């Protein structure tokens, strides 16, 4: 098993660490989910040297999952997309960027990729042949991108586009445990039976950071978090059991009242919630990668 050194920015005070962390002799120092409580503690750890295990998906392709390592090039047909999958078309002009979401209709290797014509407010947008895009898509846990132009605009039997078939596609694996920046209203039930209003500010498939006006419990308390997400244009309501791993208050700034940050680790996530949560988180990470 290979190890990689942790950089200073990958450990944040008051937040659970995302991986088991080891010293330079490969001895376990911090279990995943442990919180580095102070800057001095973080400094001491960084000076000592922190390492994590390098995930298999970061070093080579995983044949069973179909994931591609970061920076890996592949052919379009290797991605194994399904009809109806969503693709993002990004165009750039002197007036700025525009992003459109379309559905995959099909493709013929070496010829073209067929997608629906973008719409806005229920109306089909005007597209022109020769128009260039960066096409992005999400499959499994990877984001893929390639350049394409509109080869043919067709309106029969319905509006659709023939995009040029890419010679190669670049893939990037979304890091395991990566957190998506969100702003979700949540209702939290604490062990004493009280209900709290909170905001989820970042979210992963294994945990989250919540902000509230007052503490919702103490470290190691078990809580229940309810919130709404939208997946494939369908509202989904999740109820997730979790464990509080950190609770710390921020100082008031510019007249704003202090806030209490709660780092939580999801616990015994039901399968149905796990599927919906994964789909939502990876979609947000896809959007963030596209922004980058």
What pLDDT does residue 186 have?
A: 96
Q: How many whole angstroms from its chain centre is CA 215?
A: 27
Handedness of CA 103, 273, 192, 218 (dihedral sign): negative
Quick one: which of 156, 83, 92 has its CA closest to 113?
83
> Is residue 112 within 8 Å of 162, Cβ to Cβ?
yes
pLDDT in tens, 175-230: 656 788 899 999 999 988 899 999 999 998 889 999 999 999 999 999 999 999 98
Quote the CA–CA distance of 150 and 127 in Å, as a whole number: 8
Number of neighbours of residue 101 by Cβ within 10 angstroms? 12
Query: Which listed CATH number (3.40.50.2300, 2.40.10.220, 3.10.129.10, 3.30.70.20) goes with 180-291?
Result: 2.40.10.220
Distance between CA atoms of residues 210 and 223, nearest Å:
12
With 0-12 / 13-18 / 19 or more C-beta atoms within 10 angstroms meaning exposed / middle / buried, residue 113 is: buried
Give the residue ranges of the chain where pLDDT is below 50: 1, 56-71, 292
pLDDT for the residue numbered 195: 93
- Considering the domain 72-173 in this protein, what is its CATH number? 2.30.110.10
pLDDT at 269: 80
Which residues are CB-contacts of 112 (< 8 A; sequence separation ≥ 6)?
Answer: 151, 152, 162, 163, 164, 165
Domain boundaries, the chain: 3-55, 72-173, 180-291
Say whether pTM exceeds 0.75: no
Taken in order 274, 279, 284, 285, is the CA torsion positive or negative?
A: positive
Identify the pLDDT of residue 6: 77
Report the distance separating Cα 288 and Cα 241, nearest Å.
27
């Amino acid at each position: 098993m290979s190890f990689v050194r942790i950089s200073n920015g990958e450990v944040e005070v008051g937040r659970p660490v995302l991986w088991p962390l080891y010293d330079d002799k490969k001895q376990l120092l911090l279990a995943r989910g442990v919180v580095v409580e102070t800057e001095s503690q973080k400094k001491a750890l960084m000076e000592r040297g922190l390492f994590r295990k390098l995930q298999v998906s970061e070093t080579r392709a995983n044949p069973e999952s179909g994931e591609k390592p970061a920076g890996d090039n592949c052919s379009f047909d290797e991605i194994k997309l399904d009809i109806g999958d969503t693709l993002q078309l990004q165009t750039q002009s002197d007036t700025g960027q525009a992003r459109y979401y379309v559905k995959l209709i099909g493709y013929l290797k070496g010829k073209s990729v067929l997608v629906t014509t973008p719409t806005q407010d229920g109306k089909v947008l005007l597209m022109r042949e020769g128009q260039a895009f960066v096409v992005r898509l999400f499959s499994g846990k990877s984001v893929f991108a390639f350049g394409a132009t509109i080869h043919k605009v067709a309106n029969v039997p319905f509006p659709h586009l023939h995009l040029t078939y890419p010679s190669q596609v670049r893939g990037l694996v979304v890091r395991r445990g990566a957190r998506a920046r969100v702003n979700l209203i949540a209702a939290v039930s604490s062990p004493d039976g009280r209900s709290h209003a909170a905001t989820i500010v970042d979210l992963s498939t294994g945990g989250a950071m919540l902000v509230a006006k007052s503490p919702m419990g103490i470290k190691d308390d078990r809580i229940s978090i309810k919130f709404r997400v939208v997946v494939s244009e369908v509202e989904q309501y999740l109820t997730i059991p979790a464990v509080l791993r950190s609770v710390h208050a921020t100082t008031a700034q510019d007249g704003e009242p202090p806030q209490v940050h709660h780092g939580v680790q999801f616990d015994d996530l039901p399968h149905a919630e796990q599927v919906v949560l994964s789909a939502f988180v990876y979609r947000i990470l896809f959007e963030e990668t596209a922004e980058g």
